[in-house]
Structure 1
């Protein structure tokens, strides 16, 4: 069976991309948030190092680039929808394009996860990390510590690319099975919690195929409760 790193290597080669990783936005700036956020990022880096060892020092891990935005003046207390907008603006910027000088496509049209989904570290994320650390400092955080994944485009825009309308009866109604988030009762609001320990490379590789978002969204919310 092909491994996650091997799949990612193929995805990147198909686009001539030289770097990968989720872009990270920090919106939490409480009294202890600097220390908490540093520990949060360090934990992610340790997870990457562990995955690198497990996968026999696969060269793809040398191409992971940490892109972190934490300007308090711009980001403090922003909600997911605002992060989505900022991420979209970045993807359309020269700064994003400069990271992939050999890209075969415009970066803002890229289907790879780096330019379709970002991580949002808010106070809830930091609290979940601290709680997991205090409850089980030596064990996996998978079921308790989480980070928010925010989709750059509204889910219905992605859906239109993959759903064959002829497969559905025009009069048939599809029952919404997604949970509401932040008071939004749309079928899929475009962001969800996901276990911190599954981010790299598992979730990243899965989301390099945009249509996987719909399965991912259901699984993440059910898993995190």
Structure 2
């Protein structure tokens, strides 16, 4: 389906992924999805497994309620992964922001109003270390949010925000958030209408969106 053919009823704010459908049908950008930046190296097998789990979780999240609409979104979902061990291994979040901003400047369809060009996903060693526990709980799916199985965790980094040293903001916004990747796609859609530092922000070490689990602050 061409984005211009997306039915108007799919674009209502009250509809699941309505904000995303609306953006796809009304902007020139025909791609969606977070840019993923790899900042941990040395175990390519674990990295490949991690990315596959992220993709699997995305499929579940997109299709679990309305498979027909989910199929349309999957056709347009673009997985952009930036890897460079020489410059990104153990990179700081500020270095991740800079690399992401560089990528944005290189895109012909850049649109500052879209999450794709505002937020990126950072995968650190601590995030990669959540893979084993997550694989051991594959039977728990995203349709049961009241259950807290070990999350496969990533970081959402705000490319437009560069706060001071961690904790300096005195309990406020840090410019990034831990995210359970089972909810990565629905979070992307939400970011069309609510910024990361909005009412549902989970300050690290809490893991968004539920905030029931925590991660070490690294």
Q: What TM-score does the superposition give when structure 1 sets the normalisation length? A: 0.73
Report the counterpart of residue 102 of structure 2 in structure 1. 89
Aligned residue in 2 for 1:185: 168
1:71 matched to 2:84? The reply is yes
Deviation, 1:115, is: 0.4
Change (3 A) 1:199 1:45: same
Kept after mapping to 2: 8 A contact 1:142/1:197 = no
The Cα shift of 1:10 comes to 0.4
CA separation of 1:51 and 1:193: change in aligned 2, threshold 3 A? closer
Describe how 1:118-137 pairs up with structure 2 within 5 A: 118-134=120-136, 136-137=137-138
Which runs of no fewer than 5 residues in structure 1 stay unpaired?
Answer: 101-106, 157-179
Q: How many pairs were matched up?
A: 186
2:149 and 2:14 map into 1 onto residues whose CA distance is 23
Contact 1:27–1:77 (8 Å) recurs in 2: yes
Q: Secondary structure at the match of 2:67?
A: coil
Indicate the residue corresponding to 2:53 in structure 1: 43
What whole-Å deviation, never above 9, does each CA across 1:145-177 have from its counterpart, x for those lacking one? Answer: 211000011178xxxxxxxxxxxxxxxxxxxxx
CA distance in 1, matches of 2:37, 2:19: 26
Match of 1:80 in 2: 93
| Among candidates 141, 148, 154, match of residue 147 of structure 1 | 154
Shift of residue 214, structure 1, vs aligned partner = 2.5
Q: Distance in 2 between matches of 1:150 and 1:188?
A: 11
Offset of residue 210 of structure 1: 4.9
CA-CA distance at 1:195 after TM superposition = 1.0
Report which of the two has the higher share of helix.
Answer: 1
Alpha carbons 1:155, 1:188 under 8 Å: kept? no
**RCO higher in structure (CA 8 A, sep ≥6):** 1
The two structures have a TM-score, normalised by structure 2, of 0.75
Flag the structure with larger Rg.
Answer: 1
Name which of 3, 8, 17 aligns with 2:29. 17
SS of the equivalent of 2:178 reads strand
